[in-house]
Structure 1
């Protein structure tokens, strides 16, 4: 059984697409996943599955269909394995322990690999304040004045890359890895 993390985009934000975590957990269990647990209200779900992530029907599509059937919302879902999240944390080009006061770090996780044209559109963008680094299916974002003021918002990345994305702060990313590692041990 593999440990997976489902990251839902755009739920429980500004009163939109409201989903209670207890109901989301139950939906995952009804889909046949085991040891399901949620973390905070923004749609982070850890679970175990014997199914491969990219099987006949990708796990993300199966979960998206379940959310639409149960809650009536179309919600993009990005899936990563625990090992993939560990890799993301280990390969951040902006060392979290060297951030200046007021700086924050985020990871935007892409639902699929962007096209070469999308990559070109993003790489043409620069900011005098913030920085980013595209690495495969992730975008690391260093915000010097907070994500709310950053050019590199989730919507901006989706527009440039033409790929669904969901963004998490560095503390959430670390907590998801901790919870996933505890699942593996337990």
Structure 2
């Protein structure tokens, strides 16, 4: 049985997109997720199951929309992807300030990302890198003040959702706890 990570975008942020995590777990279980476990209130979960990730994401979005009147962007990734993304984070200093070190998980690898546009908006302390479906940003002065961060998705040209290293590390540990030795 495979281990999966669910990332929802726009859940319980600024009073919009309300979705209690108990409801999320119930919805996931109804769609075939086994032993769903959530992390914080912003739509992060780890679960097991023999699922089609795209079909699961679509069904979950439709279910949340029907029952909660909003349709979050839903991304379902193999659990190993979260571990690999954490381990690939290219800026070691980001682990010293993990709230300001972020990874965007893209739905697809960007075909023609406009990285020059991001370079134009980067501050002297910000660094970024793109590797396949992962965009890494180290913003030690704060992600909320970053002009680069607010332009990432548009510059990449594909839907994406970001998580800071605190969250990515916690999700990776949750996945690792479920993996059997030798399982990827």
Shorter-chain TM-score range: 0.7 to 0.9
The aligned runs of 1:87-126 (5 Å cut-off) are 87-96=84-93, 99=96, 104-116=100-112, 119=113, 121-126=114-119
Give the TM-score normalised by the residue count of structure 2: 0.87
Give the TM-score normalised by the residue count of structure 1: 0.86
Query: Which 4+ residue blocks in structure 1 deviate beyond 6 angstroms?
Result: none
* Aligned residues: CA RMSD: 2.0
Q: Which ranges of structure 2 fall in alignment gaps of 5 or more residues? A: none
Task: State the partner residue of 1:64.
Answer: 61
Number of equivalent positions: 177
In the alignment, which of 124, 141, 160 is matched to residue 137 of structure 2?
Answer: 141
Task: State the partner residue of 1:40.
Answer: 40
Task: State the partner residue of 2:83.
Answer: 86
User: Following TM superposition, by how much is the alpha carbon of 1:83 offset from its aligned partner in structure 2, in angstroms?
Assistant: 1.0
Q: Quick one: distance in 2 between partners of 1:102 and 1:70? A: 34
Task: State the partner residue of 2:146.
Answer: 150
**Alpha-carbon deviations, 1:47-76, whole Å to 9, x = none?**
11112435xx3x322222222122221111
User: Following TM superposition, by how much is the alpha carbon of 1:22 offset from its aligned partner in structure 2, in angstroms?
Assistant: 0.4
Q: Which ranges of structure 1 fall in alignment gaps of 5 or more residues? A: none
User: Following TM superposition, by how much is the alpha carbon of 1:29 offset from its aligned partner in structure 2, in angstroms?
Assistant: 0.7
Task: State the partner residue of 1:14.
Answer: 14
Q: Quick one: distance in 1 between partners of 2:152 and 2:111? A: 13
User: Following TM superposition, by how much is the alpha carbon of 1:102 offset from its aligned partner in structure 2, in angstroms?
Assistant: 9.3
Q: Quick one: distance in 2 between partners of 1:165 and 1:45? A: 17
